[in-house]
């Protein structure tokens, strides 16, 4: 009943850099390039004949570069320095302060040239879907977009999710969700987080909900294959339901993120986000959950499947408790 398609948008005008970095691939190929970054098992590079390209981290056996990099391990440790020739599966770092460190490539989860531009640290994606059912002329239109900036100490994320449903025997229903968040990263995988969210859900008679708050979190697991993170904090909420007076409240928030991604040839990602809100002035619990599956089939093109679930334990009288969609 539904169809899905997607397009990954990664093209950005960037200043050309010197091609002095070398990567050796598992199949024996050797590429001279400019390393842009490593994030979530994808190494972004620039080459003279190919322009911008991405290489899956699992396909690389060693790297060399005279430039200095910020190298992040799954333990949260950072190393700063250039990369010397090493044995397959290893990385030898000539540290900025003197000395050398031998690292295993499998332990490296982040790699960014020191002094790299703002734009080189940004990733983004957009996907859309459409479905039609002839029985009642029901149509579903969805749009999902996201952008992320990841630096050594700060991360910023923004996302948009829109769904419009029309049918001949009912009014059109809209669901919109826009979120902004920022993190300040500390040692041992700890971070502080602030976020802002705007929601509309006509299925639940919610005209507008605005959330703003902050808290503390920690990445419990962060490797080249998965990310498991949890956080907690306080938020201020402003809500306007149809036919109801506006209400404001203070809520305790507990959330988490569980992502899986492949460091091998075929780009496969599963992302799961969930957050619970506990009202501090009355007995009310809300739950927001978003899930996505993404499979690349051509360079920068992917299939995607997205779902959401919104639960309200104490909605206004005669309003629904739950809304779910795919």
User: Please, which pLDDT band fits residue 121 given cuts at 50, 70 and 90?
Assistant: confident
Say if residue 119's pLDDT is above 80: no
Look at residue 313 and tell me if it is in a domain.
yes
Look at residue 17 and tell me if it is in a domain.
yes
- Residues 6 or more apart whose Cβ sits within 8 Å of residue 10: 52, 123, 124, 125, 300
Quote the percentage of the chain above a pLDDT of 70.
Answer: 90
Say if residue 315's pLDDT is above 70: yes
Q: Are residues 50 and 163 in the same domain?
A: no
**CATH code assigned at 57:** 2.30.30.100
Q: Are residues 200 and 103 in the same domain?
A: no
Q: Are residues 108 and 147 in the same domain?
A: no
Q: Are residues 24 and 161 in the same domain?
A: no
Q: What is the pLDDT of residues 2-56, one digit of tens each?
A: 333 333 333 333 334 568 999 999 999 999 999 988 988 889 898 876 677 888 8
Q: What is the pLDDT of residue 169?
A: 78
Q: How far is CA 278 from the centre of its chain?
A: 25
Nearest Cα neighbor of 248 from 281, 215, 289, 283 is 281
Last residue of one domain, picked from the residues 117, 151, 181: 117
Say if residue 215's pLDDT is above 70: yes
Domain span holding position 94: 9-117
Quote the percentage of the chain above a pLDDT of 90.
Answer: 45
Q: What is the mean pLDDT of residues 131-146?
A: 82
User: Please, which pLDDT band fits residue 266 given cuts at 50, 70 and 90?
Assistant: low
Question: Token match 């799954």: residue?
Answer: 74
DSSP codes joined into one string, 135-170: TTTEEEEEEEEEEEEE-SSEEEEEEEEEEEEEETTE
Q: Which of 133-137, 220-224, 227-231, 255-259 has the lowest mean pLDDT?
A: 133-137
Q: What is the pLDDT of residue 97?
A: 84
Look at residue 2 and tell me if it is in a domain.
no
Q: Do β-strands 226-241 and 301-312 pair in parallel, antiparallel, or remain unpaired?
A: unpaired
Q: Dump strand ranges (E) for 168-321.
A: 170-185, 190-201, 206-222, 226-241, 247-261, 268-279, 285-298, 301-312
Q: How far is CA 218 from the centre of its chain?
A: 16
Q: What is the pLDDT of residue 197?
A: 95
Structural domains of the chain, count:
2
Q: What is the pLDDT of residue 156?
A: 93
Q: Are residues 159 and 300 in the same domain?
A: yes
**CATH code assigned at 263:** 2.40.160
Q: Do β-strands 90-95 and 206-222 pair in parallel, antiparallel, or remain unpaired?
A: unpaired
Q: Are residues 301 and 280 in the same domain?
A: yes
Average pLDDT, the chain: 85
Q: Which two tokens stand for residue 13?
A: 């005008």
User: Please, which pLDDT band fits residue 153 given cuts at 50, 70 and 90?
Assistant: confident
The maximal CA–CA distance of the chain, rounded, in angstroms, is 73
Q: Are residues 203 and 62 in the same domain?
A: no
Question: What is the C-alpha separation between 60 and 262, in angstroms, rounded?
Answer: 13
pTM of the model: 0.72
Last residue of one domain, picked from the residues 117, 132, 165: 117
Q: What is the pLDDT of residues 194-211, one digit of tens each?
A: 999 999 999 889 999 999
Last residue of one domain, picked from the residues 85, 117, 149: 117
Say if residue 104's pLDDT is above 90: yes
């Amino acid at each position: 009943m539904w169809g899905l398609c997607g397009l990954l948008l990664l093209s950005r005008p960037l200043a050309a850099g010197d091609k002095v970095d070398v990567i050796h691939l598992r199949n024996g190929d050797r590429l001279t390039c400019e390393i842009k970054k490593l994030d979530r098992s994808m190494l972004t590079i620039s080459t003279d004949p190919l322009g911008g390209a991405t290489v899956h981290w699992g396909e690389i056996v060693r790297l060399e570069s005279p430039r200095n990099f910020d190298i992040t391990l799954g333990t949260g440790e950072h190393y700063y320095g250039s990369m010397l020739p090493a044995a397959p599966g290893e990385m030898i770092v000539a540290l900025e302060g003197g000395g050398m460190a031998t690292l295993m490539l499998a332990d490296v989860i982040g790699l960014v040239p020191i002094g790299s531009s703002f734009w080189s640290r940004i990733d983004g994606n957009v996907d859309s879907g459409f479905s039609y059912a002839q029985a009642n002329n029901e149509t579903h239109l969805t749009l999902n977009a996201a952008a992320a900036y990841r630096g050594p100490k700060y991360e910023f994320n923004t996302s948009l999710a829109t769904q419009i449903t029309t049918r001949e025997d009912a009014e059109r229903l809209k669901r919109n969700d826009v979120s902004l968040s920022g993190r300040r990263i500390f040692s041992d995988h700890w971070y502080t987080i602030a976020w802002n969210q705007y929601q509309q859900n006509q299925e639940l008679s919610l005209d507008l909900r605005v959330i703003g708050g902050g808290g503390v979190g920690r990445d419990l697991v962060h490797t080249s294959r998965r990310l498991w993170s949890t956080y907690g904090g306080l938020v201020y909420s402003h809500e306007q339901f149809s036919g109801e007076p506006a209400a404001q409240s203070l809520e305790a928030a507990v959330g988490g993120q569980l992502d899986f991604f492949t460091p091998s040839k075929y780009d496969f990602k599963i992302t799961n986000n969930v957050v619970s809100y506990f009202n501090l002035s009355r007995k009310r619990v809300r739950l927001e959950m978003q899930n996505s599956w993404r499979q690349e089939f051509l360079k920068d093109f992917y299939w995607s499947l997205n779902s959401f679930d919104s639960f309200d334990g104490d909605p206004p009288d005669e309003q629904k408790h739950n809304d779910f969609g795919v």
